Chains A and B, each alone.
Chain A
């Protein structure tokens, strides 16, 4: 497994070096600096030199590096590095050079706890925060408390503390979908899929057993209601989106949080779990059938001679007229030698961003069933050598509440607890643009 963990800043200065095996020499930090940080040719996250492998990811402005010898499980290494960054964020708010420098002793302490001999140990934030804290610890901890911590760190419920109490028991469920789209220049949809995530914030007392019901084809018919809000209304009133809302959604695949009992999910598709306290990601899923695309984009781009490009972009919203998307940004690429642009829009504002070679068209509020147009011209400066423009795709950003592209619907969320308290549950749906690209 891992022989050591290194953190560097952008300039290649070492921030953290922790060895977990005797084959990890400080010299290896220099090797990484020379071979990766100061080598612009390196484009892969994995580099093997002799028998030493450096696997790195970047978090904000730092390099997070795992050093290993031999043929180790690479997935484990990267997952661990991701987890380290995630832990850092939850401890320090962010995980960048400043945060690491301001907390370097604590980073060492965390590393000592979450890796033993290079093998990842318990990395659940909840548990770690019980005994590795930013507030300075009393070292003379009551024996009883220590035992509780160790049980927690090795137990089957390592993600949840005991004795959690809330006066008001609440659970918030956010269904967040990133819709990915790739349309070819001729207008055919090359790929349309949805990466969804169900995020939960659970403020529930005791050890609650939760059951979760979706409109997955297999959970169909188990209507139990009990939610304080109806499903995504956009799907019901949208013109084409009704099919999915009618009940059947085929999910390609799902991944579930550590707390979900995978075996019962496999047998009868019920998602049952004892949630961690606070916010966590319950599941992610993928869907590529019957994807409801919130926006249809029609782009006509003509290069007129060598001095001008003409744009005509038409965008139509394809969801219920009661809904509206916010923060809609359309990024329309322009050639590198664009000197000047002129544009007209039927809604929103457009501006040319020279540093990124795009015309950025922003529409703060895009109501359903409407259509907006932008027409623009880009004047090009003369170039001595004419190089063809690579025409990067047009891309969109947006977020749209109460709409799911997959048609996924939360049917029910039940909470069972010994003390039988009643709990309030809230569901929210949101669809965002993942990689929403239109070639032209």
Chain B
């Protein structure tokens, strides 16, 4: 509509409202051929509107005058202005109503649609009420383009005033449009209904098999967006029969070859959803097989879509491990991948790694560990350590890779490696001790609290096997005052461990450290722990040994996974924003309508992860019953004054590994929380300012 094609840049400048007013009005009359002057003035006004120059609102009355001009280009600009400013000047805006009401009756369908679309954007009560009548008529317009515009108008009105729409018959009429002969109208009506449903408590959306079947039928005739809307609606269809579910899944499967990734991902969502209602293992396996190739194909799209596909792959892999099982190589990073793609690929590689491909994976991770991006390098090192924990037979291989990396002497690599090696010691106590000497060589390069605390833990834990452990500890203790609480806690525990294992070496250090911890600090955790050790050591050294050196609970790499209920919910929203964050929908978007699997005779309940988890939990609960009772029995009558005696008795029985007695050391571990580095939850926190602050903990933090 810009006459002359793209010369408007010069209008894109800040203007004064008075000047524009003059310009707009002076160019009227017969002199202004084809309204050129008016158009220029209007363009300047639109530009200023974009620049949030709110003075423009003063021109409202003049703009309304322009609406009478029989020129589509001018009209469109005026309408744009109207949509933008009507809310600020509702009284003046009302003057435009007459023109709009005329235009919705225009003989030109494009005009009718434009007027209706514009009217329904205006969030002013009179406009909303005035739209009711025309929309009712235009829902039956002979022209499909007008009908589809009317269909969306209903959702818009609902957004403005839900009660008004609920009182009217518009939703029923919209429902009726699902039988329209034009596929675009049907998909628009469906999108509109879904939009209303998303925000309404009172409306139920039920699609039976006949309806589902019918909308699937028109899929090929819809635009790519229309196909997406239809597929989204299909998750509201609850299969009553496992045959139905299989049949429908087969019928939508061809959409997986569509070039639009929204169609593909939404189709994957529906297929995953339908699988919950399919009984036959063979049918499920066949469907799963169809899902892998399109997911991988999305990796040749733009980086943003790649990222989305990868985040969803993380999800799908947990629900249907057979998908993508053999495809680890496609997730190897390209040198130029954006960092967010790389980090997600890294997570996928970690998840797909197994005994068979571990060599290949380690070579790859080793390569990443020499890249430039520090954040990515750290994740890679951490992943190697976690693989040692995840895949026991490969632990040795992983550790030697880590040692190679430590040998590079790059400070952040060494520190990251130190942290993961500590976890490896926790997983495999009293093995691989030869590493300790390598670690000790690099003590000087540790300057981050997390790495320091990890190293101190190792020294304390293996104090009897490190010859000069007391010297190493003393070195760290020299800077006690400057350390963070995290490191101080680690130092306190390590010193006590040293004393317990080698009393002669530790006897000078312990009183000093206990004194610091109890008297010179304002940190309650540190002081409490200091007092506890003190009292423990003075009243019953044997019990102290049992507690401090007791066995710790085993760690696993399993904590990466989503809990079963969340997993089930997430699979119902594949391709949406929540899957980027891999967090339950309501934690990210509080107002979002929760989705869950609807019950039906076809639902394969025993195969759901949440059901299986609940069963497993029951078993565990039954097992756990006994020890809990025993503990309760023991602690009955124990009061705080008798705490020492209590610890002594528990320690003597050597039950240090039950949850409660081990707590002193265990809390220390929790502070560090290294073995749950990444819950696979990606971007983690929702606020960017927070990413920066507490970013390091999550695998992905931007």
Decide whether A and B assemble into one complex. Answer: yes
Give, as a whole number of angstroms, the nearest-CB distance from B322 to chain A. 17
A184 to B363, alpha carbons, bound, how many Å?
9
Which one of B1, B229, B372, B687 contacts A136 once the chains associate, using CB atoms below 8 Å? Answer: B1
Closest B residue to A111 by beta carbon equals B80
CB closest chain-A residue, reference B410: A388
Do the beta carbons of A74 and B329 come within 8 Å of each other? no
Q: Out of A47, A106, A391, which one reaches B370, CB within 8 Å?
A: A391
Does A150 contact B143, Cβ atoms closer than 8 Å?
yes
Q: Is there a chain B Cβ closer than 8 Å to A112's Cβ? A: yes
Q: Which residue in chain B gives the minimum CB-CB distance to A6?
A: B50
With A29-B52, A252-B297: A103-B2 Cβ-Cβ less than 8 Å: yes
- Interface positions of A from 116 to 159, Cβ below 8 Å from B: 116-117, 119-124, 131-137, 139-141, 143, 146-147, 149-151, 153-156, 158
Q: B577 contacts A72, CB within 8 Å?
A: yes
Q: Any chain A CB within 8 A of the CB of B447? A: no
Does B426 have its Cβ within 8 Å of any Cβ on chain A? no
A191: interface (CB < 8 Å):
yes
Chain B proximity of A24: nearest CB distance (Å): 11
Asked if A102 and B6 sit within 8 Å, CB to CB, the answer is: yes
Shortest Cβ gap from A164 to chain B (Å)? 20
B229-246 near A? 1/0 per residue, CB < 8 Å: 100100000000000000
A17 within 8 A of B: yes
Q: Is B3 an interface residue (CB 8 A)?
A: yes
Q: Are A44 and B109 in contact (CB under 8 A)?
A: no
Question: Which chain B residues border A135 with CB–CB below 8 Å?
Answer: 3, 5
Which residues in chain B, 419-448, are within 8 Å of chain A measured between CB atoms? Answer: none
Q: 8 Å CB contacts to B: which residues of A366-399?
A: 387-388, 390-393, 395
Residue on A nearest B595 in the bound complex, by CB: A71
Chain B residues with CB under 8 Å of A239's CB are none
Q: Are B334 and A79 in contact (CB under 8 A)?
A: no
Residue of B146, B182, B702 near A41 (CB, 8 A) is: B702
Complex contact B585–A26 (CB within 8 A) = no
Chain B residues closer than 8 Å to A102, beta-carbon distance: 2, 6-9
Number of interface residues of A (CB under 8 A): 115
A195, A281, A392: the one within 8 Å of B259 (CB): A281
Question: Which of B202-210, B250-258, B458-466, B505-513 interfaces with chain A?
Answer: B250-258
A78 near B257: Cβ-Cβ < 8 Å? no
**Cβ of A97 to closest chain B Cβ, rounded Å:** 9
Pairwise interchain contact A105-B688, C-beta atoms closer than 8 A:
no
B592 touches A70 (CB 8 A): yes
Contact in complex: B76, A286 (CB < 8 Å): no
Quote the shortest CB–CB distance from A368 to chain B (angstroms): 27
**Known: A22-B160, A79-B262. Is A104-B47 also a contact (CB below 8 A)?**
yes
User: Which residues of B sit under 8 angstroms from A55, Cβ to Cβ?
Assistant: 304
B330 at the interface (CB under 8 A from A): yes
A72 touches B576 (CB 8 A): yes
Which parts of A47-80 form the interface with B (CB within 8 Å)? 47-51, 53, 55, 57, 68-76, 78-80
**CB–CB A137/B1 < 8 A:** yes
Q: What distance in Å separates the Cβ of A245 from its nearest Cβ neighbour in chain B?
A: 23
Q: Are A73 and B266 in contact (CB under 8 A)?
A: yes
- Closest Cβ of chain B to A286, distance in Å, is 5
Check A53–B577 contact: CB distance below 8 A.
yes
CB atoms of B145 and A388 under 8 A apart: no
A29 to B, closest residue via Cβ: B52
Residue of B nearest to A393 (CB): B335
Residue contact B259 to A109, C-beta cutoff 8 Å:
no
Please tell me which stretch of A260-268, A315-323, A400-408, A421-429 contacts chain B, meaning at least 4 of its Cβ atoms lie within 8 angstroms of it: A260-268
Is the CB–CB distance between A191 and B330 below 8 Å?
yes
Residue in contact with A74 in the complex, picked from B84, B294, B296, B579, CB distance below 8 Å: B579
For the complex, give the distance between the alpha carbons of A45 and B47 in Å: 27
B393 CB to nearest A CB, Å: 22
Known: A76-B225, A109-B76. A154 touches B305 (CB 8 A): no
Q: A71-B588, A73-B266 are in contact. Are A253 and B297 (CB under 8 A)?
A: yes
Output the residue of B121, B224, B255, B307 with the most chain A CB within 10 A: B224
Q: Is A255 an interface residue (CB 8 A)?
A: yes
A78-B262 Cα distance, complex, nearest whole Å: 8
A358 touches B (CB below 8 Å): no
CB pair B296 A266 closer than 8 Å: no
Distance, CA A134 to CA B7, complexed state (A): 11
What residues on B are CB-neighbors of A53 within 8 Å? 577
Within 320-373 of B, Cβ neighbours of A (below 8 Å) are at 329-330, 332, 334-336, 338-340, 360, 363-364, 367, 370-372
**Which of B43, B80, B145, B185 is A112 in contact with, Cβ under 8 Å?**
B80
Q: Separation in Å of the A360 CB from the closest CB of chain B? A: 16
Looking across the interface, which residue of chain B has its beta carbon closest to that of A16?
A: B50
Specify which of B9, B185, B192, B579 lies most central, judged by the most chain A CB atoms within 10 Å of its CB.
B9
13 A-B pairs whose Cβ atoms sit less than 8 Å apart in the complex:
A14-B51, A15-B12, A70-B592, A75-B308, A106-B2, A117-B159, A119-B191, A182-B334, A261-B220, A263-B254, A266-B254, A387-B410, A435-B334
**Which 7 A-B pairs give the minimum distances between C-beta atoms?**
A139-B72, A150-B145, A253-B293, A156-B221, A262-B254, A136-B3, A154-B184
Residues of B within 8 A of A (CB): 1-9, 12, 43, 46-47, 50-52, 70-73, 75-77, 80, 83-84, 107-111, 113, 117, 121, 123, 143-146, 148-149, 152, 155-156, 159-160, 182-185, 188, 191-192, 195, 198, 220-225, 228-229, 232, 253-255, 257-262, 264-266, 293-294, 296-297, 300, 302-305, 307-308, 329-330, 332, 334-336, 338-340, 360, 363-364, 367, 370-372, 408, 410, 573, 575-581, 585, 588-592, 683, 686-688, 691-692, 700, 702
